[in-house]
Amino acid sequence: MIAETSATLTTADGVTLEALVAEPPTPRGGVVICHPHPLYGGDMDNPVVVRLAEVFGEMGLATLRFNFRGTGQSTGAHGGGVAEQHDVEVARAHMVSLVGGDRPVVLAGYSFGAAVVAEVAAKHGELSGVVLVAPPLARVDPERFAGLAPFVERLLVIVGGSDEICPTDAQARLRDSVPHATFEVIDGANHFFFGKLYPLSQAATIWARYVLGI
């Protein structure tokens, strides 16, 4: 994995976010990766977040992971997934500034991060791709994912087959709403993907090669 450097991002509402950026000399594109719920211990050092950064970095993509407001050294306070949209917006803009507007940019989120990413992505149809890992379908309004339909094959959803926070009936409803998305179910995986990071990595790699052409 390319060495990460520290960065500080400032949101439109004045919050400063601590971030880690890995930028290859000639990036093929860039990925912003958003962490799970901060009130339940989620931060940018979460194993799923780190693994996604490693996977995409190994493919020659620049990566950016950051702490949502009120987490770690990021200022501000938890905003219930609404104020955090400002956080994703500034991270997306920073990635575009790094790789340029002619290279692909992807937003990825895990759990709480997936819910926030879904709402931000709906405002940016120019994104090259969206990756949702274990979206917390049992705990958030399904309407938060309603804007993803235009992404069709540019959308990857990775879920665990034994995830109580993203249960199979809710998975089926999401799948029906985005029928052309790539939907990967990892057998035996719970919400935390204990012992299942390798198949998660495979799913992300295969999708990126196909959608981003790298």
At 66-86, the pLDDT tens digits run: 999 999 999 999 999 999 999
Task: Give the C-alpha separation, 186 to 167, whole Å.
Answer: 13
CATH of the domain at 105: 3.40.50.1820
Cα gap 134→179, rounded to integer Å: 17
| pLDDT on residue 1 | 64
Print the domain residue range for 167: 5-212
Residue 2 has a pLDDT of 77
Per residue in 141-185, pLDDT (tens digit) is 888 898 999 998 899 999 999 999 999 999 999 999 998 999 999
Cα distance between residue 134 and residue 115, in whole Å:
9
Mean pLDDT (the chain) is 96
The pTM of this model reads: 0.97
E-strand stretches of the chain: 5-10, 16-22, 30-34, 62-66, 105-110, 129-133, 155-160, 182-186
Number of compact structural domains in the chain: 1
pLDDT tens for each residue of 173-204: 999 999 899 999 999 999 999 999 999 999 99
